[in-house]
Structure 1
Amino acid sequence: MSELQEYEKAARWFRHATDEDYDTIASVYSYARLKMIQGGNPRQWGTKYPLPERIHEDIDGRHTILLVDDAADIPAPSPDVPYDPPVLRERRGEHERVIGIFSVFHDPDPDYKVIDGDWLDDLPYTTIHRVASSGLARHAAADLLTWSKKTFGNVRCDTGLKNHAMQHILESQGFTRCGNIIMPENDEIENVRVAYQWNGRTLVPSAPSRLAERRLVHA
């Protein structure tokens, strides 16, 4: 069996991050900051966010979840092989690589109390923050959002005013743009963010977006 055939059967899965993952997580966030700067969005994360103490706090609180696969031993895996939708499996792969990161919080987010707009509802929700892709595999952000919707049901998040790529992914995944929120003042990063919510009762995306979503999950 060829390496490509082997890779076609490789799975993606989620697991909680541990202290052993710190260096990898920091590297992925560094890559994400660079991509934001190159994409004309230099002030969402600046050059330092998230700081090391924030990364450690997320890990210690079991907030950080990694999207991984077992394809690190394949020299040039195909970017478009089909795979099953990832689920939470608390294990490390023999040839694991991290392809996506995000942090999950179930308590009300204090920065979401005031919004220039309207949230979809006032029900309990889960917040996802610090979404980042390592650039090693495609559709990582879409997988994170798909799993979050299925797992938590009512999900809120925010992104930068100039982060048009993430805005597109969120809207393709059926998230509703609810307005703007104000983050705490920071000299290096912008404090106005675009707020999104998905609660399972929003309108489904248009036909092209549904097709894009199927490709994100299965392509």
Structure 2
Amino acid sequence: MRIRPTELTDIERILEIFEYGRQVQIASGNPNQWRKGHPGRELVLKDINQQASYVCVTEADEVEGLPEGTIVATFAAIEGIDPTYTHIEGGAWLNDAPYVTIHRISTSGQVKGSGQFCMQWVKDRYDQIRIDTHSLNQPMIHLIEKFGYKYCGVIYVADGTARNAYHYSRES
């Protein structure tokens, strides 16, 4: 697998992957994190325009039945201050160093380990990474903790709902 920047022609596939992720969350007991239509086309376009959207694609002969270049996962890695992270309850960030935030990570379910591949790709490139997820998103919490992120407290996203917030610091 490899990671590449998202192209405009990838949007429909990304929306399919988001829908798959939405269904996985519902099936695992988390029906509220990604309500129908979110994340949507406008948000993907914004991420692409900010050069923050990425896709994970298959390499030649890597996965039987999948052609080379098949998009199997997507995420946004957004550099700079995330406004929803300025206030955190019940804890504190590990430090105030500049960071990248991972948002909207999702897989197609076609290639085991594609989410881990994306998480490792970001970790290999950044020393400070923040991420959040709904408290009921146990598969994501497991992945976040597996990669050494520390729970820091609770943040509130734009619609006012709470999210568990995590921080990875290469120095910690």
Instruction: Give TM-score, length-normalised by structure 2.
Output: 0.93
Superposition deviation, residue 197 in structure 1: 0.6
Q: Is the 1:156–1:196 Cα contact (8 Å) retained in structure 2?
A: yes
Identity over the aligned pairs, expressed in percent? 29
Distance 2:3 2:158 in 1: 30
2:39 paired residue number: 50
Q: Confirm or deny that 1:147 pairs with 2:121.
A: yes
- Return the offset for 1:95: 2.4
Matched pairs, number: 170
Q: Aligned partners of 1:158, 1:73: CA distance in 2, in Å? A: 30
Residues 18 and 60 in structure 1, CA contact (< 8 A), matched pair in contact too: no
- In structure 1, stretches of 5+ residues that fail to align are 1-11, 78-93, 203-219
Question: 1:160 and 2:141 equivalent?
Answer: no
- Give the CA deviation at 1:72: 8.1
CA distance in 2 between partners of 1:60 and 1:106 (Å): 13
Find the counterpart in structure 2 of residue 198 from structure 1.
Answer: 168
Find the residue that maps to 2:105 and give its secondary structure: strand
Structure 1 CA distance, aligned partners of 2:136 and 2:44? 24
Query: Would you say 1:39 and 2:28 are equivalent positions?
Result: yes
Aligned to 2:159: 185
Q: What is aligned with 2:64?
A: 74
2:9 corresponds to: 20
Runs of 4+ in 1 over 3 A off after TM superposition: none
1:32·1:133 contact (CA, 8 Å) conserved in 2? Answer: yes
Equivalent residue letter for 1:144: C
Q: Which runs of 5+ in 2 are unaligned?
A: none
What letter matches 2:20 in structure 1?
Answer: Y
Q: Is the 8 A contact 1:102 1:130 kept in 2?
A: yes
Identify the residue that residue 113 of structure 1 maps to in structure 2.
86
Of structures 1 and 2, the larger Rg is shown by 1
1:59 partner SS = helix
How far the C-alpha of 1:185 sits from its partner, in A, is 2.2
Cα separation, 2, equivalents of 1:153 and 1:50: 27
On the 8 A contact 2:88/2:153 being kept in 1, the answer is yes
Q: Decide whether the 8 Å contact of 2:63 with 2:111 is kept in 1.
A: no
Which residue, 34, 39, 54 being the options, matches 1:65?
54
Q: SS of 2:77's equivalent?
A: strand
SS at structure 2 position matched to 1:198: strand
Whether contact under 8 Å (1:72, 1:96) holds in the other structure is: no
Return the alpha-carbon distance in structure 1 between the equivalents of residues 142 and 62 of structure 2: 29
Matched, 1:127 2:117: no
Structure 1 distance, partners of 2:38, 2:124, is 28
TM-score normalised to the size of structure 1?
A: 0.74
Q: CA RMSD in A?
A: 1.6
